[in-house]
Amino acid sequence: MKRYFYTGLLLLLATSLFGRTTNGAKDAPLKSDATRETISLTRALDAHHNMNNTLQVTTRDSEVIFSEDFEGDVSQWSLNGQWSLTDLDSYSPTHSMVADDDPAGAAVSDLISPSIVMPAVTDIEDLSFNFAVFCDFPDFDGDGNNNLEDYYSVKIADLTAIPWHRSTTNAYEGGTSWWCGDEGIGGYSDDWLQFLDTDPIQLPAGSSALQFNLKYALEEYTGAAQTIDGCLINGWDAANVRISADGGSTWSPLTGTPAYTSSSAYGFSANNDGCSVPGWGGISAGWGAGNFDLSAYAGEEVIIRFALGSDVSYSTADDATITGFYVDNVLVSNAGDTLFFNDAETEGNMTASGVLWNDVFYDYGDVSRPGGAAWGVYESGMEFNGSLDLTAYAGKTIKLKWMSRVDGDDDGGNGTGLHIDDVSIFKSTQLVVPPPSNVAAEVVSGSVMLTWDDMNNPQAVDFFYGDDSYESFIAGSPPWTVGRVVGSGWAQRFDAALPTNLENFYYLLSSGNTANPGQLAPIQVTVWDGDENILYQSAPVTPAAMDEFQVFDLTPADLTVQGSFYIGWCHTDTLYPFPALDSDSEYMGEMYGYTPLSGGAIVSLTGSGLDGNYALFADGTTSSTGGITYNVYRRTENGTFSAPLNATPLTAGTYTDETVENGVGYYYAVKAYYQGVESGYSTEVFAMPEAASVIEMTYDDGTAETGYNSSVGNYLAVKFTPSAYPVLMKRIRFYVNDPAAAGNTIAYVWQGEGDGAPPVDVNTYLFRSAISGLTYGWNQLDITSDSIWVTNGSFYVGWKIYSSTPSLGADNSGYQGNSFVYGSGTWINMSEAGLNYNLMIHAVVDTAWVVVGIDQRDNQIPTEFALAQNYPNPFNPTTNIDYSVPNAGPVNLTVYDMNGRVVSELVNKTQSAGNYRVTVDGSSIASGVYFYRLTSGTQSMTKKMTLVK
C-alpha cells in the first residue's frame, strides 16, 4: 500500500506524484486546505473513558545506521547539474550541499549518496531517515497556475534490484525472453533507466548485423513536441538499442528497423541520459523483428545495449497495459558466421545493470513547508507526500538521491537554491517495553522482599492519548482532493509493546456546535497493521449516541497486534458523523486519515489543521508469551542506581534483597527486558529493614481523610504507651496533608505524667528539634543517636504550630482517643474539641535487647582488642557484656540469631579507647541461642550466649 501525507494547509491525494497540465507538460500539483471547528461552550462534553494507560507508548529507541554532515571527505557523493559543496550556509557546523535555482543552469540536478548497506530488521523494527533542509525556491509557483515549477524530490535506489531478467511473462513464442519489468507489479515504474548489455563482441571486417526479436508496451506520447527541462521532447517513456566501441565508456543509439517512434524521449532526458535520445514508445503490434547494420564498426570490439527509460510519471501502476520492454534471440553475425547469440534460455553472455530509482517524496519552497523559511530538520510525518520509511529496503544496498527541478524562468523570484545537510538513516524499534508496575517492598526480618506484576502473565493494556476533554470536532469525512469520500476514515496509531489481543474499541462522536450540528450515521470500525493494511473492518454499525463514549466489542474478531497498529472508523456517509478530538493537550503526533482511493492510503494529519488527539482508543490483554526478564536496582538516600542487585536476570516478579542493614532506608526500582529492549525504571518504592524487635506505634490507618491545624503557638501531639519497658526511641514520623507544603515546625517528645496525662510543662521534654522543608506525605526524623529511653508510663510525640506549619494529616476512621491539642496553657483531647481525629504521628521504637546502660569501667587504656563472654550465661532476662577497644574510633556491637539475622544493635557510635560494659535486657525476645559480635576498625570478635526463660 502506498502511504500519502498532507501537511501544513495542503492536501494531496493523486494516483501518481505528478499531474498533467493542459499543454501536456508534467508538473507537481498544489492542493487545497481544510479546517476543524470548536464545540459550543454552552454544552459540556462528557468524555471520560476511565482507562489507566498501562502500556501507553510514546517514544522509540533508535540506532544510527548512516550519518553525513558534509564536513569531511565527500568524494563518494555524486554531484550533477547545479549541485555543489558550500561553506556559505549550513545547518551544522560549516558545510552543506546546495543546488542553485538559476533558471539559466541545469533544469534537473542530482545529489546522489554513496552506497549504503541497510541492516536486516525484525518484525518490531523499522528504518527511516531525516535530513536538514533549507529550500529557498521562491519560484515554486511563479505563474500562479497551481502547478509546481521549482521543487525537489527525494528518490531511493535498491542497487540489488535490476528489472532486466529472464521471464516467461509475455515471452516470445511461449518460451523465455528478456523482460525489463517487475513481476510483482506486472510492468515498470517511473524514473527507470535500465540496461541489458552483451559481452564484448569482436566484429571482423566486412558487413556485420544485429538481429533480435522485440516487443514493447510503454507510455504513449501524443501531440506536438514541447520543451521540458531544456530538451525538445516528442516522446515519454522509451526503449532503444545502443552500441559502445570503447568498452562501455560512451554509447550511441543504433538506427535500423523498426524505426524509433520518437527522436527525443523524456524517459531518457529525465534521467540525465541526454537530450535527443531516440526510442520506441507506445505499444508495439506484438512481437517484431529488429535489424541493425553494424558495418560502421567493422574491426572493432563492441558492446550492444538494450535500454529502457521512464520519466517522472505514468507507468504500469496507472495503466496495466503498458508493461515494459521485451527482447529475445539476440544475434550478431557476419557473412553467416555467428559472432554472438543469446535466446534468454540462460543468463549466458548478457549482463543487466542500471539504477532503479523509486520515489520517496517531493516538496517545495513555500514558507509553510519544512525548511521553506529557514533551516529545519525534515522528519517523518512532515512529508508533502510519500514517506521517509525505508523499512522495505532492509538488508539491501541503497543510494539516496535529492533531485532539484527548476524551470526556465524566475517569475516567482530567484533564491539561493536547495540546501541539504546532516543526512541520517536510523533503525528504530517499535517495541518500547514498559517498566514493571505495582512494585511493592515488604520488610522481612533482616531482608527486603520485592514483588511486582509479572509481565510474562497476561495483563490489561489500554491505548489512548489526551486529557479526556474534547474541545473540537471535524465536520464530515476527510476532505480529500477529489472531495469527501465514502469509505474514508480516521485512525490513531499506537504501539503494542507485547503481543496483545484487542478486546474493545472506544470512540466519541461530537454533536458539533450551533452553526454546524452533528448527526448520527453508520460507521465501520477498522483496524490496520503497522504496514497500513486493513486487518479488520466491521459491518456498518450505527452509534447509539453523540457526546458519549461508545464501546465496540472486538473479541469476536480475534485480533492480535504487536508493534505499530492503527485503529479507528470509516464513513458510510460523506457528511456525518463528526469525530471529536482533544486539541488543547500535547499532541502525540499519531493521528491519521484514511482514504480508500488508489488502493487505500494512510495519511498523516500532523500540521494539517486537522491534527489533535482524537477520541479513538482501545484496550486488550497481553498474551502470555514469556521471555521477559527483570533487573532490580537499589539506592540509598541521595544516591543513584548503578549495577543491578541480581547476578542473573530474573524470570519472575519477585526478588529478596538480603544484603541490607537494619535502620538504613533503601529505594528500589525494577527494569524489564524483552527481545533485547530495556524498559525505563519502575516507580521507586522505599523500605527500611529493622530488627524484629523494632515496631512502629500508630493509631491511624495510614490514610488521611482530611488535614488539621490549630492556632499559631499551639501544639499537637499523640500519646503512646509501650507494652513493656524500657524502649529505645528510634524515629518519629509526621504526615503532612498540604500538597504544596514547604513549611517548618519544632518536633517534641515528652514524658507523660504519672497518671499518663499529657505533660504539664511543654518546655520540659525528652527531645526537641526544629524541622524545616516539610513536604506532602510522610516526614521522618531519626532520633536513635539521641538515646531517648522510655522506662515507664506513656510518652507523647508532637509539634508546635507556627505560621509556616502545614496541616497535619487526620484519619477519621475510628477514633482511638490518643490525639491531643494544646492551647491557652491546657491540653485537651481531640474528642473534647468535637473532632474525632487520629492525628497522623507515629513513633518507631526498639523493644528487644534493651540496653540498660553502657559504662566505661575504669580509666585504664587497654593494649588489646577484646570481647569477653557475657555474664551471667545462660541468663534471664539481663546480662552484661564487657569489651575493650585500644584505639578511639567507631564501635559496633550487634546481636544475631541462629540464622544470621540482626536482632538488635546494642552499640553503634564512636568511642574513646577504654574498657566498657553493656548491660542488656532480653525481656521482650524469645528464648534461644544468640551471637554477639564486636567490630572496631579492622578487628572483629564474636561470642555466643543463651537466653533461657
Q: Helix/strand/coil (H, E, C) string of 61-100?
A: CEEEEEEECCCCCCCCCEECCCEEEECCCCCCCCCEEEEC
Whose cell is 506513656? That residue is: 794
120-142 pLDDT, tens digit per residue, is: 988 778 899 999 999 999 999 88
The pLDDT value recorded for residue 482 is 45
User: Is the pLDDT at 318 greater than 70, yes or no?
Assistant: yes
Q: Give yes or no for residue 935 having a pLDDT over 60.
A: yes
Query: What pLDDT does 464 receive?
Result: 86
In a domain, 331, yes or no: yes
Partnered with residue 165 across adjacent β-strands are 179
Mean pLDDT on 462-472: 80
- Same-domain check for residues 226 and 106: no
List C-alpha distances in Å: 129 to 109, 157, 358, 495, 607.
Answer: 21, 14, 15, 20, 19
- Residues 337-348, mean pLDDT to the nearest whole number: 91
pLDDT exceeds cutoff 60 at 860: yes
Residue 42 in any domain: the answer is no
Q: How far apart are CA 667 and CA 634, in angstroms?
A: 6
**Percentage of the residues of the chain whose pLDDT score is greater than 70:** 90
Judged against a pLDDT cut of 50, whether residue 418 lies above it is answered with: yes
Q: What is the pLDDT of residues 761-807, one digit of tens each?
A: 999 999 999 999 999 999 999 998 887 888 789 999 999 999 999 99
Residues 842 and 878 grouped into a single domain: no
How far is residue 109 CA from its own chain's centroid? Answer: 36
Confidence category of residue 14, pLDDT binned at 50, 70, 90 = very low
Q: What is the DSSP letter of 753?
A: P
Average pLDDT over every residue of 242-263: 97
Reported as a pLDDT band with limits 50, 70 and 90, residue 691 is confident
| In-domain check, residue 73 | yes
Evaluate if residue 602 carries a pLDDT over 60: yes
Same-domain check for residues 699 and 681: no
pLDDT at 405 over 80: yes
Instruction: Give tens-digit pLDDT for 641-657.
Output: 999 999 999 999 999 99
Provide the 3-class DSSP secondary structure of residue 824.
coil
- Total count of residues recorded for the chain: 949
Same domain, 858 and 940: yes
Last residue of a domain, which of 807, 825, 846? 846
| pLDDT at position 312 over 80 | yes
Whichever domain contains 509, its CATH number is: 2.60.120
pLDDT level of residue 686 (50, 70, 90 thresholds): very high
112 and 248 both lie in a single domain: no
pLDDT tens digit sequence for 727-762: 889 999 999 998 877 789 999 999 999 889 999 999
Nearest to 303 by CA among 225, 262, 251, 361: 251
In sequence order, what are the residues at sequence separation of 6 or more whose Cβ sits closer than 8 angstroms to the Cβ of residue 784?
663, 728, 729, 730, 731
Give me the DSSP letters along 877-925.
SEEEEEEEESS-EEEEEEEE-TTS-EEEEEEEEEE-SEEEEEEEE-TTS
Is 29 a member of any domain? no
Looking at every residue in the chain, the average pLDDT score rounds to: 87
pLDDT the model gives residue 574: 79
Is residue 736 domain-shared with residue 822, that is, in the same domain?
A: yes
Residue 139: inside a domain, yes or no? yes
> Does 828 map to a domain?
yes
Per the CB < 8 A criterion, the answer to whether 468 and 585 are in contact is: no
E-strand stretches of 218-322: 226-228, 231-233, 238-244, 252-253, 288-293, 301-309
Residue range 174-196: mean pLDDT, rounded: 94
**What is the structure's pLDDT at 852?**
66
Q: Does residue 744 sit within a domain?
A: yes
More confident residue, 525 or 106: 525
pLDDT bucket at 477, cuts 50 / 70 / 90:
low
Confidence grade of residue 514 (pLDDT, cut at 50, 70, 90): confident
Domain boundary among 565, 591, 622: 622
| Nearest-angstrom CA–CA distance, 311 and 237 | 6
* The predicted structure's pLDDT at residue 527: 98
pLDDT for res 59: 39
Same structural domain, 485 and 568? yes
Range of the domain at 869: 850-947
What is the DSSP secondary-structure string of 135-195? EE-GGGGTT-SSB-SSEEEEEEEETT---EEEE-TT-GGGS-EEEESBTTTTB--SSEEEE
Most confident stretch, 21-25, 190-194, 441-445: 190-194
pLDDT at 197 over 70: yes
CATH at 892: 2.60.40.2550
681: domain CATH number is 2.60.40.10
Check residue 723 and give its pLDDT: 83
Q: Is the confidence at residue 22, as pLDDT, over 60?
A: no
Chosen domain end from 317, 350, 383: 350
Q: Are residues 795 and 856 in the same domain?
A: no
Residue 598 sits in the same domain as residue 653: no
Decide if 470 contacts 587 (C-beta within 8 A): no
Q: Looking at the predicted structure, is the pLDDT value of residue 57 above 80?
A: no
pLDDT of res. 327:
98
Asked if residue 67 has pLDDT above 80, the reply is yes
Among 475-479, 618-622, 718-722, the least confident range: 475-479
The single-letter code of the amino acid at 638 is N
Co-location of 803 and 887 in the same domain = no
Amino acid occupying residue 541: V
Is 134 inside any structural domain?
yes
State the total domains in the chain: 6
Residue 121's contacts (CB-CB under 8 Å, 6 or more residues apart) are 127, 391, 394, 395, 427
The pLDDT value given to residue 61: 58
Whether residue 583 sits in one domain with residue 486 = yes
CATH of the domain at 420: 2.60.120.200
Average pLDDT, integer, range 258-278: 95
pLDDT tens-digit series, residues 894-911: 998 887 877 788 898 899
Residue 638 shares a structural domain with residue 667: yes
Q: CA–CA separation, 712 vs 250, rounded Å?
A: 98
Specify the higher pLDDT residue, 586 or 828.
828
Q: 277-287 pLDDT, tens per residue?
A: 999 999 999 99
- For the chain, what percent of residues have pLDDT higher than 90? 63
User: In the predicted model, is pLDDT for residue 289 greater than 80?
Assistant: yes
Angle at CA of residue 493, ends 490 and 495, nearest 5°? 160
> For 215-224, what is each residue's pLDDT tens digit?
999 999 999 9
Q: What is the mean pLDDT of residues 531-548?
A: 93
What's residue 47's pLDDT? 33
